[in-house]
Amino acid sequence: MSGRPDDIEFEEEIDRKYICPICLAVLWDPVQTSCGHRFCKLCLGGLVRGSWRFGMSRCPVDKSFSVLLEICLKTMLSKEKCYHLDQENCVYGCGTRVKRLEHDDHKQVCHQRPVNCEHCDEQIFYADLTKHQVLMCEHFPVQCTLCGQTGIRRKDISSHIDVNTGDCPQTIIPCKYASYGCQFQDKRRCMSDHYTTDPDHHILLLVQHNASQDRKIAELTSQMDKLMSIAKNVVNH
């Protein structure tokens, strides 16, 4: 339309809200209807001519009765510039300056964004997630370094390899007759062979233990008899 340069070139595709739906060119001296549609002032005036009685007419786009509002192109572009160019600090404190237009996208990839550990549900920074899981998370599945079993929660490893109550087949454990004098130790998975191949040794240890207990009982009985005898003498005198 009149007054519009013909040689304007744009580096990027123009948003459709800046295109006049009548001439299909970039808005020039724009006006806006109360229903939100924008037109070049001359384009709209040439289409509806004198129909804007009392400032109202039908919008060429949706045919609704609208009030004609003049808008300042400079103000409109200034607001758009703020949205596209103005930067603000990341809300997660990572130190990055982000365009307002890209703020939501940045929040999805920011290394300081809060996330929940999928294993323990603790909330931590995304940048610390791997360190947390590999070194600290008590519910993170780890591998037993002795038997190679996987999927054991970190907090359960100590129970898994416990000498007395664990179930790790590679843990070195003492013979169950250790309290009777057997000094044999081997992997838990091998202990059944020890019990079946050397039963006489364990029987001998039990016999010796019982004999020792009998001697101790006899000694204690003798001491008790002596004490009782002394007590009687004290009472009689």
Determine the average pLDDT of the residues in 62-86: 58
Are residues 130 and 103 part of one domain? no
User: What value does the CA radius of gyration of the chain take, rounded to a whole number of Å?
Assistant: 45
Give the model's pLDDT for residue 85: 53
Q: Residue 17 pLDDT > 60, yes or no? A: yes
Determine the average pLDDT of the residues in 37-59: 69
Q: Residue 237 pLDDT > 60, yes or no? A: yes
Burial class (CB in 10 A: 0-12, 13-18, 19+), 40: buried
Task: Report pTM.
Answer: 0.51
Give domain status of residue 4, yes or no.
no
Q: Where among 130, 160, 190 does a domain terminate?
A: 160
User: Alpha-carbon distance 177 to 206, whole Å?
Assistant: 8
Give the model's pLDDT for residue 185: 95
Are residues 66 and 35 part of one domain? yes
What are the helix (H) ranges across the chain? 41-48, 73-84, 103-109, 129-131, 157-160, 191-197, 199-236
Q: In which band, very low, low, confident or very high, does the pLDDT at 109 lie, cut at 50, 70 and 90?
A: very high
- The residues near 137 (Cβ < 8 Å, ≥ 6 apart) are 117, 119, 120, 122, 154
Q: Provide the number of structural domains found in the chain.
A: 3
Give the model's pLDDT for residue 54: 46
Residue 36's CATH number? 3.30.40.10
Determine the average pLDDT of the residues in 41-69: 68
Give domain status of residue 72, yes or no.
yes
Q: What's the domain range around 139?
A: 118-160
Give the model's pLDDT for residue 145: 96
Give domain status of residue 151, yes or no.
yes
